[in-house]
Amino acid sequence: MKWLRRLVGLFLLLAVLVLAAGLALDAWIESSGGRRMVEQTLSEAAGLPVRLGGDFDVHLLPPGADGTEFLVLDEPTGAEFASSRAYDLELELLPLLRRELRVQRLRLEWLVLGEAGGPRFALPSVEVSDFAIGQPSRVAVDLGWLGAVDALVSWFPDDARVDFGLSWSAEGREDVGLDGVLEYAPEGLFLPEVSARIEGQRVRGSACFLTLGAPVAALDLEADSLDLEALEAVFPAGQGGAAALPFELNLRLEAGTLLRGDIRASDTLLEIGAPPDCSPAAGR
């Protein structure tokens, strides 16, 4: 039974080594410089300054850290761009043993987006996995009673651009797919290319959300065929409308065929609000 004793001894030795390495890593990350190194790693990954305030605690299984304040700052002004009241991050183990920090997963609780004094909105949770600039990363967003979003996102900070493909799911409704290119600037968010799949139907076009002055959402869309009753099953009446939105909605929709029950219309143009205008001056 020597082989069994040797095997048990080997496992014990490995356990001691893992424990010793864990304690060393814990002391290193927990040190005053550990928080700054995590901030630097996250800032380099995000392309924006990241600050970790409040509590900062290290966990070993899986290796990582969690805390109570996560801030993303606008680099030119230093203003708060996004904040989370709790975060949890996992670090890749092998780079960590070489005292290198690589974030494998980041989860943010109650993420608030937008600068103070301007339009802001909150998300119950956002989780990013396998993040790398210019490479596809998995993003999961909890929207509360509105459902959830699962997305594959590629971020190009030098171009202020995000390529994305996402699926929105909500209880009792068919999933909605959205693909496109998102560009961002101080004036707002711009979708020069966007395509949506809803109840087997496809809508394509461009859109923007302007945040200078009164917020404005502008959409210029087209579709070969649309069934309004099928769309109402996804976005039922009574759960909001243009009058209930906290921003101005300007919509232009062209449809080759528009259906509602037994009614069929050809070459239809639907307009809500003013003609869509995505020039920065439109949001002033």
Kindly report, residue by residue over 5-38, the tens digit of the pLDDT: 444 444 444 444 454 455 555 555 555 567 788 8
Beta pairing partners, 51? 71
Average pLDDT over residues 35-48: 82
Beta pairing partners, 43? none
Q: Contact 271/252 with Cβ under 8 angstroms? A: yes
How far is the CA of 181 from the CAs of 59, 176, 207, in angstroms? 37, 17, 10
Phi-psi region of 122 (alpha: psi -120 to 50; beta: other; left: phi over 0): beta
Q: What is the DSSP string of 79-103?
A: -EEEEEEEEEEEE-HHHHHTT---E
Q: What is the predicted pLDDT for the residue at 12?
A: 45
pTM (2 d.p.): 0.72
Q: Which residues of 30-67 are buried (b: 16+ CB within 10 A; e: fewer)?
A: eeeebbeebbebbbebbeebbebeeebebeeeebbbbb
Among 247, 283, 36, CA closest to 121: 247
Question: What is the pLDDT confidence band of residue 230, given thresholds at 50, 70 and 90?
Answer: confident
Question: What is the pLDDT confidence band of residue 108, given thresholds at 50, 70 and 90?
Answer: very high
